[in-house]
Amino acid sequence: MGGLPILSLMLLVPLIAGIACLLVDARPARLIALGATLINLLLGIVLWLNFDIGGAQWQFQEYAPLFAGFSWALGVDGIALMLIMLSVFLMPFCILASWEAIRTRVGEYMAAFLFMEALMIGVFAAQDIFLFYIFFEAGLIPMYLIIGVWGGDDRIYASYKFFLYTLLGSVLMLIAMLWMVNVAGTSSIPALMEYDFAPAAQTWLWLAFFASFAVKMPMWPVHTWLPDAHVQAPTAGSVILAGVLLKMGGYGFIRFSLPMFPEASAQFTWLILGLSMAAIVITSLIALVQHDMKKLIAYSSVAHMAIVTAGLFAFNVQGLEGAMVMMLSHGLVSGALFLCVGVIYDRLHTREIARYGGLAINMPAYALFFLLFTMASIGLPGTSGFVAEFLSLAGVYQVSSWAALVLTTGIILAAGYMLYLYARVAYGEQRNADAAAMRDLNAREWVLLAPIAAAVLWMGVYPESFLAPMRQDIAMLEARLARAAPAGDANLVMGAPRAQSANAMATLPGAEHAGEGAH
Amino acid sequence: MQPILLIVFLPLLAALVAGLPNKHLPSVFAKSVTTGALILSCVLSWPIFLGFLNGTAQPSVVPVAQWVQSGTLTFDWALRVDTLTAVMLVVITTVSALVHIYSWGYMAEDPDQPRFFAYLSLFTFAMLMLVTADNLVQMFFGWEGVGLASYLLIGFWFRKPSANAAAIKAFVVNRVGDLGFMLGIFGTYLVFGTTSLTEINAAAAGMSGATIGFLGMRLQTMDVLCILLFIGAMGKSAQLGLHTWLPDAMEGPTPVSALIHAATMVTAGVFMVCRLSPMFEAAPVALALVTFIGAATCLFAATVGMTQWDIKRVIAYSTCSQLGYMFFAAGVGAYGVAMFHLFTHAFFKALLFLGAGSVIHAMHHEQDMRYYGALRRHIPLTFWAMLFGTLAITGVGIYGIGGFAGFHSKDAILEAAFARGTDMATFAFWTGTLVALLTSFYSWRLMFLTFWGRPRWSESEHIQHAVGHGHHSPEEGNPPRQESADMGSPHDVPGPDQHEGTAGYHPHESPVSMLVPLGVLTLGAIAAGFAFAPQFIDGARFWNGSIYYNEALIHALHAVPLPVKLAATIAMVLGLAFAWFAYIRDTSIPAKTAEQMGPIYRLFYNKWYFDDLYRAIFVRPAFWLGRQLWQRGDVGIIDRFGPNGAAWAVQQGSFAAKKLQNGYLYSYALVMLLGLVGAVTWVLV
């Protein structure tokens, strides 16, 4: 890639296209947005193909000092690469999903999405902690506008709730960042990842970052902005919210909290595991009683994100890799589920589950896609969701069998609420004439759903493609965490094996009490 | 190209080719593709099995692709073939191929045939992946895959609310078992550092003295792991406690019940325990639990099966009960015998289900045996097939000479339990003997109610519907069936003989496509026992290390006293005699008995109230809790004191600030004065 600043280019393309969108009419704006996001997808593929797996930790680095130690520093490792790929992969679908649904202020809408894409790539690519902060916080603004301007009836409440919550942690995080840079003498993220802060300071720094990431994640009990934001956001807004914005919290934990504050992370392991356990049970039960499709999927997102946090704080390779795969998988699956909701919302303009029913009769192709994504959400083996859940929970089990037990109940509850949703939407009699008259997927909707379905199956059957780029980074992180990693509760103690197997019997035939009485 | 690759992946390919075009191609295309693929798989499977039978084949593992590598946790896609797999291969592909053929006739009038056949083939693929797994995770893949197919097929007539409810129930209850299975896999990986079946089985004995911390307790490692895995087996094989989904699964089309809920999927749990038999042999407490749960399920399901009126539910509870036999056989260490019963059961139970399907087909979708009777002469071929199935399940045979399939396998199980001699095994033996009587009773009850006596068809709404609308009214895709047996409102009387008469209806024998599978399975029900008993029971060389083979137990099994050997046969004859008295000789006996034994009868009839109990302690509380957590938790507490509270506080603060700036000079002056006084005071003090 000799010299081509591909990451800056990936930031620049949507930025310029976004400005262009502000200046033109609806139709060209759509085309520009689609073109720009496709170009970025292509650039992303080039990035992935040229990523040297097992090579240098940081690749495609760019550096330009700006002022006062603040610099334009970009670069990716495998973890960032995968999340950038997720962002650029989902973006064209967002544009396509809004093709017909958005009719007012189309140029501004497309611009908001393009700016957001640039900011999200910036979050994952930033190597300067202040640059990260700017991208991280600025990413809220387009989302806030998307919900507030193009959202549903209650959009003002939702957007202000969204903003209030996510702003809460930011101030604390900024203060922590200033302190860190002051102490460590550098604002470079790679350098800070190797800097050892005093354990006492770590505790406060960890909490400051936690305030921000927990809200972004979102973790229970600071999750209540998410259902409202999802319900009010337009379809594409929900896709990007669930698909990428929720990943910024997880990325924050894996990029900042864990490597920079290993001791504090170990100290707070049980806070995280406890909140994750609470989240998975509570939000799953809440998802069970929802009447609004988007709200149900939003609550299920909180439950899935709890598996991410638990996996991250398992401090071992399986947990970390599982958490990363869960972020990617959830990005695809919940994004696709919101697209599925969007498909029928566009036809009937309601998210009320009870208004549908029997869609498998008149929309068989739609029902098949919806089933696939439902199963992926439940974590059926063969889909991405299984690899994610299995690895994360296998990691958690090594730390605590209690936590693993409670978190694994999620597989029962998820099956409950997702299948209940699916049965009410796709199965049963056709109760409403208007729902029964809806036509099956059109070509545009096929293009929306089929590639995501393929990606979900790919990640489920051959996850190596996604695990390989991250392997080295995860291994390094695990090595850094090793000194603080909590001991598991298993404590296997070897004993002298029994001389005989449980049902061994003396060879004399017919003797009724020949057994060794193992019971 | 290894044949095993074709055997496993042809059904998947067929499912995709048949299912994805759905109704865009004529249904005969989907039917031909899937049935053809399955017949091919079946034809390729038998030589493998015969190779192991005559000792020429060797175990092998065919790698397919990498799957997951995460640190030291690695597992790949691979197909393992050994004796145990080969047994399952022939069972699965044979029954599946026959069920495919049968469905040509049974589903002939259904508009959704491509979907149905695609699901059937998809199921077969998943089941084959399960039995060819070389590691626990691929087994789990197959395990969940069959769960998905089962969900789809139970809910095949998805317009029916009862079918949807049954499908969700099956999936969710199985997931409870899967919770155990998953934790078992995690624990196994933690302890052994691998998920490879070969490595785990090899290392298991060495771990038998180790202890592990689990949920804050310190326990025997192998007991913990095996019990967790066995919880998974209990879910899939519908053992007591996690059995509630199986009777409801009868909402699916009858060929599905034969394939999935009798012959193959529900036996996956037994297969798992046998596959991991060296592991279980290192876990005495887990084995005692397996024995106990097996025996208890065996008895429980038989008692319920005696009282049900729906022909499919009787056979469903019978399946549950027979699975109990298999489990306690495994529990006492007779894994080969457990597999033998699995093998014979697959044939005779599939036969009984397909026979029941033929009866239901003849009786225009009536499933309530109270409206059957005297069908022997009207559908003679079905009658003979079911008769042989009944002879096989009840274990008819003569000691020393031979008998039908179930005679060999069930006797061997009881003898093994007796020979094992521990308290738990002895309990299992006596329970199993009692259940042999009950099995005979409920099986002959079914036969007598269906094929003997006088016609009782006239009160059946299905028959009335058929007569009223001409004989062959086309079956809709989702026939709006009446839930007959359990709603009970019009016919609460337990007696079968209230209303006699044919209502002018003429039952018709099923088409050839349905009769041919019945014929093949009849052969299996007759011959599978004596043909294969030597290998399955005594074949240390046949099993070739694929299961834990207990030489001493098998010797002891053959040396049990004569009364023990005759126990099952005596129980069988008694059961037949009771059934004959109650349902042929004096048909008023059942009603009288039910009345006299009121509470017990109701307990059995209502399935020991498991469903009501679970609804009361799990389902309703879950929804109630969900509503509370949502309305009171999220909205009432978090939002109220969180964002809304913050907003309210800011608003109040701004109101207060607004009041301060009221523009009146005197109030500003007052504040100034107060400030001045305060400042002076502070300086002076």
Residue B498 carries which DSSP code?
S
Residues of A in contact with B225 (CB under 8 A): none
Q: Which residue of B has its CA nearest to A488?
A: B213
Distance CA A8, CA B564 (A): 83
Q: Crossing angle for the helix pair B562-580 and B380-394, nearest 10 degrees?
A: 140
* Residue A238 burial (CB count, 10 A): 29
Q: Which alpha helices (H) appear in B306-422, and where do they start and end?
A: 311-331, 335-362, 380-394, 405-420
Q: Do B209 and A498 touch (CB under 8 A)?
A: yes
Q: Do A464 and B556 touch (CB under 8 A)?
A: no
- What are the pLDDT digits (tens) for A392-419? 999 999 999 999 999 999 999 999 999 9
Question: What three-state secondary structure class fits B413?
Answer: helix
For residue B484, what pLDDT is reported?
A: 38
For residue B529, what pLDDT is reported?
A: 87
Work out whether strand A70-76 and strand A59-67 pair parallel, antiparallel, or are unpaired: antiparallel
List all residues 6 or more positions away from A32 whose beta carbon is below 8 Å from its beta carbon: A17, A20, A21, A24, A110
Work out whether strand B217-220 and strand B211-214 pair parallel, antiparallel, or are unpaired: antiparallel
User: Which among B186, B212, B423 has CB closest to A393?
Assistant: B186
Residues of A in contact with B555 (CB under 8 A): 507, 509
User: Which among A393, A493, A511 has CB closest to B211?
Assistant: A493
* Peptide bond before residue B563 is cis, with ω within 30 degrees of 0: no
Q: Which residues of A5-21 are buried (b: 16+ CB within 10 A; e: fewer)?
A: bbbbebbebbbebbebb
User: Which among B73, B209, B633 has CB closest to A497?
Assistant: B209
User: Which among A361, A411, A462 has CB closest to B178?
Assistant: A411
Distance CA B406, CA A218 (A): 58
Q: Do B287 and A461 touch (CB under 8 A)?
A: no
For residue A273, what pLDDT is reported?
A: 94
- What are the pLDDT digits (tens) for A224-278? 889 888 988 899 999 999 989 899 999 999 999 999 999 999 999 999 999 999 9
User: Which among A160, A428, A464 has CB closest to B69?
Assistant: A464
Distance CA A335, CA A339 (A): 6
For residue B482, what pLDDT is reported?
A: 38
Contact A112, A146 (CB under 8 A): yes
Residue A165 Cα, gap to closest chain B Cα (Å): 7
Mean pLDDT in residue range A21-32:
88
φ and ψ at B160, to 5 degrees? -80, 125
Q: Do A490 and B178 touch (CB under 8 A)?
A: no
Burial class (CB in 10 A: 0-12, 13-18, 19+), B189: buried
Contact B272, B265 (CB under 8 A): no
Q: Which of A465, A505, A507, A508 to mutate to test the interface with B (most CBs of B within 10 A)?
A: A505
Residue A224 Cα, gap to closest chain B Cα (Å): 7
Contact B149, B126 (CB under 8 A): yes
Residue B277 Cα, gap to closest chain A Cα (Å): 10
* Residue B664 burial (CB count, 10 A): 9
User: Which among B145, B155, B278 has CB closest to A382?
Assistant: B145
Residues of A in contact with B649 (CB under 8 A): none
Question: What three-state secondary structure class fits B81?
Answer: strand
Mean pLDDT in residue range A183-188:
88
For residue A221, what pLDDT is reported?
A: 86
Residue A125 Cα, gap to closest chain B Cα (Å): 25
Give how far Cα B347 sits from Cα of A40, B102, B189, B392, B412, Å: 59, 14, 36, 9, 17
Q: Do B145 and A381 touch (CB under 8 A)?
A: yes
Which residue is associated with the tokens 């894996």?
A: A254
Q: Do B213 and A505 touch (CB under 8 A)?
A: no
Higher pLDDT, residue A5 or A320: A320
Half-sphere exposure of B140 (CA within 13 A, CB side): 29
Beta bridge partners of A50: none
What's the distance, Cα to Cα, between the start and end of chain A in Å?
Answer: 68
User: Which among B209, B212, B213 has CB closest to A496?
Assistant: B209
Q: Tokens representing B85?
A: 């797999």
Number of CB pairs, chain A paired with chain B, less than 8 A apart: 261
Q: Do A428 and B212 touch (CB under 8 A)?
A: no
Residues of A in contact with B176 (CB under 8 A): 412
Residues of A in contact with B327 (CB under 8 A): none
For residue B326, what pLDDT is reported?
A: 95
Distance CA A490, CA B213 (A): 4
Q: Do A419 and B171 touch (CB under 8 A)?
A: yes
Q: Does A461 reach chain B within 8 Å, measured CB to CB?
A: yes
Q: Tokens representing A3?
A: 């010299």
Q: Does A34 reach chain B within 8 Å, measured CB to CB?
A: no
Give how far Cα A20 sits from Cα of A8, A15, A34, B133, Å: 18, 9, 13, 56
Give how far Cα B394 sits from Cα of A208, B10, B386, Å: 71, 36, 12
Q: Tokens representing B383?
A: 């009658």
User: Which among A322, A495, A511 has CB closest to B211?
Assistant: A495
Q: Does A509 reach chain B within 8 Å, measured CB to CB?
A: yes
Give how far Cα A206 sits from Cα of A130, A165, A221, B559, B673, Å: 17, 19, 18, 71, 47
Residues of B in contact with A465 (CB under 8 A): none
- Percent of chain A clearing pLDDT 70 (strictly above): 97
- What are the pLDDT digits (tens) for A157-171? 888 888 778 777 788
User: Which among B144, B151, B553 has CB closest to A505?
Assistant: B553
Q: Which of A353, A501, A507, A516 to mutate to test the interface with B (most CBs of B within 10 A)?
A: A501
Contact A242, A339 (CB under 8 A): no
Highest mean pLDDT among A101-105, A311-315, A433-437, A438-442: A311-315
Q: Do B643 and A224 touch (CB under 8 A)?
A: yes
Q: Do B205 and A467 touch (CB under 8 A)?
A: no
User: Which among B164, B186, B288 has CB closest to A394?
Assistant: B186
Q: Do B283 and A423 touch (CB under 8 A)?
A: no
Q: Which residue of A has its CA nearest to B155?
A: A427
Given a cut of 70, the residues of chain B with pLDDT beneath it are 1, 469-499
Residues of A in contact with B552 (CB under 8 A): 504-507, 509, 514
Q: Do B280 and A502 touch (CB under 8 A)?
A: yes
Question: What three-state secondary structure class fits A59?
Answer: strand
Q: Does A426 reach chain B within 8 Å, measured CB to CB?
A: yes
Residue A161 Cα, gap to closest chain B Cα (Å): 6
* Residue B470 burial (CB count, 10 A): 8
Helices (H) and strands (E) in chain B, counts: 30, 6
Burial class (CB in 10 A: 0-12, 13-18, 19+), A357: buried
Q: Which residue of A has its CA nearest to B192?
A: A492
Which residues of chain A from 121 to 160 reach within 8 Å of chain B, CB to CB? 160
Contact B451, B377 (CB under 8 A): no
Distance CA A311, CA B242 (A): 29
Question: What three-state secondary structure class fits A263?
Answer: helix
Q: Crossing angle for the helix pair B598-605 and B589-596, nearest 10 degrees?
A: 100
Residue A361 Cα, gap to closest chain B Cα (Å): 9
Beta bridge partners of A73: A63
Q: Do A427 and B639 touch (CB under 8 A)?
A: no
Distance CA B428, CA B422 (A): 10
- Percent of chain B clearing pLDDT 70 (strictly above): 95
Beta bridge partners of B75: B68
φ and ψ at B76, to 5 degrees? -120, 165
Beta bridge partners of A126: A74
For residue A434, what pLDDT is reported?
A: 85
Q: Tokens representing A192?
A: 């800070």
Distance CA A435, CA A293 (A): 15
Report which of B289, B75, B80, B305 is spatially closest to residue A462, judged by C-alpha positions.
B75
Q: Does A162 reach chain B within 8 Å, measured CB to CB?
A: no
pLDDT band at A496; cut points 50, 70, 90: confident
